[in-house]
Amino acid sequence: MAKQALWGETLKVNLDVGFIANYFVLDTSELDDANAVLDGSTEFIDITEYVQNITINRGRSNQLEPFNTGTLSILADDRASGRSFDPLNTASPWYQGDLGIAPRRAIEVYGGSAGTAAMFKGYVYDLNIEYDEPNLSTAQIMAVDALAQLAQTNLVGFNPSQQLTSERVDAILSRSEVAWSTALREINTGLATVGTVAYEDNANVLDALQALQVSENGRFYASRDGMLVFDPRIQTSFGTAVAVLGGTGVTDIPIRSLNNLYGAETVLNRISVQVLGSNVLSVANGTASQAEYGIKNFALNNLPLVDDAAGSALAVALLDRYQMPEVVFNETSVLLNGLSSSQQELVASLEIGDILTVEKRFAVGSPSVIRQDVVVESIRHQIAPSRHEVVLGLGQIDLVYAFILDDALYGVMDSTNALV
């Protein structure tokens, strides 16, 4: 059953064992809504009581890369479970002719104030048992998110016509050899157009979808609740921050650490894009940046964009973003220990693409306070018996605020205030 941690958060881990697990058994169980129903209702077993450590990694290291497959690692006390996790134990309650914890079984991790905030939904990849004589044993469960499923799927050759990136993503996911449920996808309308492409037999599905993400300069990832999400290119946004980190407000969330990134390694001032099937290389040069910092190349090849003009537009957009160095907050960490229940719920519910305001105060120097709007690009949960730390990888975002007539701050039409 769900377990309340020392710091007040409620944690829950559900594992699909491959058969109905909560059915009523005569003379051994009682009919109720939670533990036993007449015909059973779920294949999930709550294994929280045996879990010792949880590590979740999702996202990407920077905004120019595709998203990595999300991973989950759980260390469980197999001895305390009566060797229920052990595939050699035919007396395990999860053994019905074969161990129920098989590869690709679903697994879910929840946290927050009530144990209902999904932090990871994915599929078991590996199960290892370590024996420590004479009778100790631990189970290491490794799981991956939906991107891993796509990485193991290949296309049957087809030739789609010109369409938006988002339409192509939908088309690939709807192919019979992929058959990804429409209920498990969130495809937002893209801005870039891709051309007619001859996808060959056995072309990898994830590679094809990530090429569309790069062409869009958007996001394609598996969400914390198991959805495949495609987000379009965002150059500026009217979005608002879901939380303030490091501030002094009553609801602001304290941070444990904060890193900034600044230097030549953040500069890209010669961007080249080559469209699939074209011999033309679309190059955008930041000559002033090159003179100041030297030539820093970034190349994208064989993108399925509709034409060279689209490739040139992408090169210009990337140059505009990266040709000059900026001091950016790129990573922060939050310790859930000591947070209020509402703050724990918010942090456990953070998602890739969420906008945050991060504040840093300094005892010396000027200015004494720096605030930046950032966007979440990666999330790492590290949960142990004594603590839950969340490490957030951050990216740049340019927020535009709605113009407000006669307002001292928002009543000026400029680069940060605009008509909605």
Q: 355 near 32, Cβ under 8 Å?
A: no
For the full predicted model, state whether its pTM sits above 0.85. yes
Whether 202 is in a domain gets the answer yes
Mean pLDDT (10-residue bins), the chain, 420 residues: 92 88 50 48 85 98 95 97 92 79 90 96 95 91 97 97 98 98 97 96 98 97 98 75 95 96 87 96 97 96 97 96 92 97 97 96 95 96 98 88 52 49
Peptide bond into 367 cis (omega under 30): yes
Whether 342 is in a domain gets the answer yes
Tell me how crowded residue 30 is: count the other CB atoms within 10 A of its CB: 8
State residue 405's pLDDT score: 55
Whether 387 is in a domain gets the answer no
Domain limit, last residue, from 87, 122, 144: 144
Please state whether 180 falls in left (phi above 0), alpha (psi between -120 and 50) or beta.
beta
Whether 215 is in a domain gets the answer yes
Whether 386 is in a domain gets the answer no
Whether 397 is in a domain gets the answer yes
157-192 burial, b if ≥16 CB within 10 A, otherwise e? eeebeebbbbbbbbebbebeebebeeeebebeebbb
Q: Are residues 129 and 20 both part of a single domain?
A: yes
Sign of CA dihedral 89, 95, 96, 100: negative
Q: Are residues 292 and 248 both part of a single domain?
A: no
Who's near 48: CB < 8 A, 6+ residues apart? 1, 2, 3, 11, 12, 13
Residue type for 1, please?
M
Q: Are residues 140 and 196 both part of a single domain?
A: no
Who's near 355: CB < 8 A, 6+ residues apart? 237, 239, 240, 241, 242, 373, 374, 375, 376, 397, 399
Token pair for residue 259? 């890193």
Q: Are residues 129 and 220 both part of a single domain?
A: no
Whether 282 is in a domain gets the answer yes
Who's near 356: CB < 8 A, 6+ residues apart? 241, 242, 243, 244, 245, 373, 374, 375, 376, 392, 394
Q: Are residues 252 and 396 both part of a single domain?
A: yes
Rg (CA), the chain: 25
End-to-end CA gap in the chain: 48
Q: Are residues 63 and 112 both part of a single domain?
A: yes
Domain limit, last residue, from 144, 177, 207: 144
How many domains, in total, are found in the chain? 4
Q: Are residues 113 and 62 both part of a single domain?
A: yes
Whether 385 is in a domain gets the answer no
CA 216 to chain centre: 18
Q: 272 near 347, Cβ under 8 Å?
A: no
- The CATH number assigned to the domain holding 183 equals 3.55.50.10
Supply the range of the domain harboring residue 214: 149-232
Q: Are residues 371 and 407 both part of a single domain?
A: yes
C-alpha to C-alpha distance for 347 and 224, rounded to whole angstroms: 13
Nearest to 355, CA basis, from 243, 260, 235, 253: 243
- Give CA separation, 23 vs 1, 19, 30, in Å: 16, 10, 10
C-alpha to C-alpha distance for 302 and 375, rounded to whole angstroms: 28
Q: Are residues 372 and 286 both part of a single domain?
A: no
234-263 burial, b if ≥16 CB within 10 A, otherwise e? beeeeeebebbbbbeeeeebebeebebeee
Largest CA distance in the chain: 82
Sign of CA dihedral 15, 20, 24, 25: negative
State residue 94's pLDDT score: 85
Domain limit, last residue, from 305, 322, 339: 322
Nearest to 315, CA basis, from 329, 298, 302, 296: 298
Q: Are residues 162 and 112 both part of a single domain?
A: no
β-sheet bridge partners, residue 108: 14, 121
Q: Are residues 217 and 298 both part of a single domain?
A: no
C-alpha to C-alpha distance for 173 and 36, rounded to whole angstroms: 37
C-alpha to C-alpha distance for 119 and 116, rounded to whole angstroms: 9
3-state SS record for 134-178? CCEEEEEEEEECHHHHHHCCECCCECCCCEEHHHHHHHHHCCCCC
Q: Are residues 76 and 188 both part of a single domain?
A: no
